[in-house]
Chains A and B, each alone.
Chain A
Amino acid sequence: MAIKVINDKCKGCTICVKACPFDAIEMKGKIAEIGAACTACGVCVAKCPFEAIEKVEDENDNGVDLSEYKDIWVFAEQRQGKLMGVALELIGEGYRLAKEISDDTKVCAVIVGDNVAHLADECYAYGAERVILIEDPLLKNFTTDGYTKVLTDAINEFKPEIVLYGATHIGRDLAPRVAARCNTGLTADCTRLDVRVSSYIDFANKNTTLDTSTLDPNDPDTGIKQTRPAFGGNLMATIICPRFRPQMSTVRPGVMQKREPVEGAKGELVEYKPTIAAADIRTEVVEIVKSAKELVSLTDAEIIVSGGRGLGNEEGFALLKDFADHIGGVLGASRAAVDAGWIDHSHQVGQTGTTVKPRIYFACGISGAIQHLAGMQGSDMIVAINKDADAPIFEVADYGLVGDLYKIIPLLKEEWDNADALFDASAK
Chain B
Amino acid sequence: MNFQLSKEQENVKKMVREFAEAEVEPIAAEIDQNHRFPIENVEKMAKYGMFGVPFPKQYGGAGGDHISYAITVEELSRVCASTGVIVSAHTSLCCWPIYAFGTEEQKMKYLPKLLKGEHLGAFGLTEPNAGTDAAGQQTRAEDMGDHWLLNGAKVFITNGGFAEVFIVMAMTDKSKGTRGISAFIVEKSDEGFSIGKTEDKMGICASSTTELIFQNCKIPKDRLLGNVGEGFKVAMATLDGGRIGIASQALGIAQGALDVTVEYMKARKQFGKKLSQFQALQFEIADMATRTEAARLLVYKAADMKDKKLPYGMNAAMAKVFAAEAAMYVTTKAVQLYGGYGYTKDYPVERMMRDAKITEIYEGTSEVQRMVISAAVLGK
Interface residues, chain A, CB within 8 Å of chain B? Answer: 388-390
In the assembly, what is the distance between CA of A388 and CA of B274, in Å? Answer: 11
Shortest A310–chain B CB gap in Å is: 12
B267: which A residues are within 8 A, CB to CB? Answer: 388
In the assembly, what is the distance between CA of A389 and CA of B267, in Å? Answer: 10
Please provide the 3 A-B residue pairs with the shortest distance between their CB atoms, ordered closest to farther: A388-B267, A389-B269, A390-B274
Shortest B330–chain A CB gap in Å is: 26
In the assembly, what is the distance between CA of A345 and CA of B274, in Å? Answer: 34
Closest to B274 in A: A390
In the assembly, what is the distance between CA of A390 and CA of B277, in Å? Answer: 14
Shortest B272–chain A CB gap in Å is: 10
A388: which B residues are within 8 A, CB to CB? Answer: 267
Shortest B131–chain A CB gap in Å is: 45
Question: What does the 1/0 interface line of B274-302 toward A look like (CB < 8 Å)?
Answer: 10000000000000000000000000000
B274: which A residues are within 8 A, CB to CB? Answer: 390
Closest to A387 in B: B267
Closest to A388 in B: B267
Shortest A361–chain B CB gap in Å is: 24
In the assembly, what is the distance between CA of A195 and CA of B267, in Å? Answer: 46
Shortest A209–chain B CB gap in Å is: 28
Which residues of B235-267 are within 8 A (CB) of A?
Answer: 267
Q: How large is the interface on B (under 10, 10 to 19, 20 to 34, 35 or more residues)?
A: under 10
A390: which B residues are within 8 A, CB to CB? Answer: 274
Closest to B269 in A: A389
In the assembly, what is the distance between CA of A67 and CA of B91, in Å? Answer: 74
In the assembly, what is the distance between CA of A388 and CA of B268, in Å? Answer: 9
Shortest A152–chain B CB gap in Å is: 43
Closest to B268 in A: A388
Q: Could you name 3 residue pairs across A and B whose Cβ atoms are closer than 8 Å?
A: A388-B267, A389-B269, A390-B274
In the assembly, what is the distance between CA of A388 and CA of B267, in Å? Answer: 8
B269: which A residues are within 8 A, CB to CB? Answer: 389
In the assembly, what is the distance between CA of A390 and CA of B266, in Å? Answer: 10
Closest to A389 in B: B269
Shortest B371–chain A CB gap in Å is: 49
In the assembly, what is the distance between CA of A90 and CA of B366, in Å? Answer: 73
A389: which B residues are within 8 A, CB to CB? Answer: 269
Shortest A312–chain B CB gap in Å is: 11
Shortest A219–chain B CB gap in Å is: 48
Closest to B267 in A: A388
In the assembly, what is the distance between CA of A74 and CA of B259, in Å? Answer: 53
Shortest A390–chain B CB gap in Å is: 8
Closest to B272 in A: A389
In the assembly, what is the distance between CA of A389 and CA of B273, in Å? Answer: 11
Shortest B273–chain A CB gap in Å is: 11
In the assembly, what is the distance between CA of A388 and CA of B263, in Å? Answer: 13
Shortest B35–chain A CB gap in Å is: 24
In the assembly, what is the distance between CA of A389 and CA of B274, in Å? Answer: 11
Shortest A255–chain B CB gap in Å is: 35
Which residues of B197-221 are within 8 A (CB) of A?
Answer: none
Question: What does the 1/0 interface line of B182-200 toward A look like (CB < 8 Å)?
Answer: 0000000000000000000
Shortest B344–chain A CB gap in Å is: 16
In the assembly, what is the distance between CA of A388 and CA of B269, in Å? Answer: 9
Closest to B266 in A: A390
Shortest A394–chain B CB gap in Å is: 14
Shortest A3–chain B CB gap in Å is: 33
In the assembly, what is the distance between CA of A60 and CA of B158, in Å? Answer: 75
Shortest A342–chain B CB gap in Å is: 14
Which residues of B44-78 are within 8 A (CB) of A?
Answer: none
In the assembly, what is the distance between CA of A399 and CA of B267, in Å? Answer: 22
Shortest B271–chain A CB gap in Å is: 14
Shortest A274–chain B CB gap in Å is: 49
In the assembly, what is the distance between CA of A211 and CA of B197, in Å? Answer: 75
Shortest A339–chain B CB gap in Å is: 11
Shortest B21–chain A CB gap in Å is: 13
Shortest B18–chain A CB gap in Å is: 14
